[in-house]
Copies of this chain bind each other. A is one copy, B any other.
């Protein structure tokens, strides 16, 4: 972001509003900002054109189609992940890499779901995977175990725990709603009710995809992998 070339605006028209020439980079950046602000569903080619002060069709000069734009957004997000440490045990290196990825993904809440929907990885994503696979193999893991590890980690490898229900909705975070739900559920769903009533490390059922859950899962997985590695 900071290294983005800040080309001088060339006012070929007498228009008061400075409007730098469109570019693929500018289109992608604007799309990411829109998604950061209003979510992925709010991203339409027409709205994006409006934000950039340009006819929606002009976007197609820099982007093949919407899918191409989404590919670029996903890959640019991954490109923002901080580089991995070169030293240490493979579990430590992987752990710290994944936590860096997580920090990036928290800045772009739309990214994990988007990456999951892409058909193939972009260049930055491929580079990231090469780093991760390198950590595993340089750590001495057999190629089969390395492969298993990638599937096992799933979306967690880019720092995201894909929870089954979206607990970031308003309702799911409202303690009153949760309490009501818990009491209504008590008869028919005793176990769910008990868990909903007891667990609340951030205010109830909601807000659970937090660092505690993530690191618990990550550490359990790394430990299991290391155990299998050492068992041969």
Instruction: List the interface of chain A (C-beta within 8 A of B).
Output: 115-121, 126-127, 129-130, 133-134, 137, 143-144, 146-148, 151-152, 154-155, 157-158, 161-166, 169, 171-172, 185, 188-192, 194-195, 198-199, 208-209, 213, 216-217, 220-221, 223-225, 228
Q: Residue of B at shortest CB range from A217?
A: B152
In the assembled complex, how far is the CB of residue A69 from the closest CB belonging to chain B, in whole angstroms?
17
Looking at chain A's contact residues, the main secondary structure is helix
Contact A165 B220 (CB under 8 A): no
Separation of A163 and B115 alpha carbons in the complex (Å): 10
CB distance from A224 to the nearest CB of B (A): 4
Chain B residues near A220 (CB-CB < 8 A): 152, 221, 224-225, 228
* Cα-based distance from A88 to B108 in the complex (angstroms): 43
Sampled A-B contacts (23; CB under 8 Å): A115-B164, A116-B162, A116-B164, A118-B165, A126-B189, A126-B192, A130-B188, A130-B189, A133-B194, A133-B195, A134-B190, A143-B195, A144-B199, A147-B195, A148-B213, A148-B216, A151-B217, A152-B217, A154-B163, A154-B217, A157-B164, A220-B224, A221-B224
**A130 B191 Cβ-Cβ under 8 A:** yes
**Closest residue on chain B to residue A168 by CB atoms:** B119
Residues in B whose Cβ lies below 8 Å from that of A199: 143-144, 147
